[in-house]
Amino acid sequence: MDLKLEQLQIDAGAVSQQLEVFIKASVSNFKREGVIVGVSGGLDSSVVLALSVAALGPDLILLGLDKNMGTEAIVRTGIKAETVEYVRELIKKSEHMRGLPATPD
């Protein structure tokens, strides 16, 4: 199979918009108020964070960060950031309050 350059072209704006709509719909369908985004500092998690901010705004996002990760740049964005350990405990408490089985570590 021969690939042509035209087959590899992506309309990044259209794809971003589709993903933002998907994020908004998912939050609504799951009856959630926002999202938790685990950020490793890599490209994938950074893109998910950017799309989530574009879809929901920074007030509806909680970042889960490794405790060794620098947070100075993130703090300046106004997005609430906590350590991954804190986020895990928060999820466990939330599940317990809703009567759901505990999430394994």
pLDDT in single tens digits along all 105 residues of the chain: 788 888 888 899 999 999 999 999 999 999 888 898 888 778 898 899 889 999 999 888 888 777 666 666 666 667 777 777 777 787 777 766 666 555 555
Q: Are 34 and 28 in contact (CB under 8 A)?
A: no
Give the tokens for residue 19. 């993903």
- DSSP notation for 4-24: -HHHH---HHHHHHHHHHHHH
Tell me, what DSSP letter sits at residue 59? G
Q: Domain spans of the chain?
A: 34-105
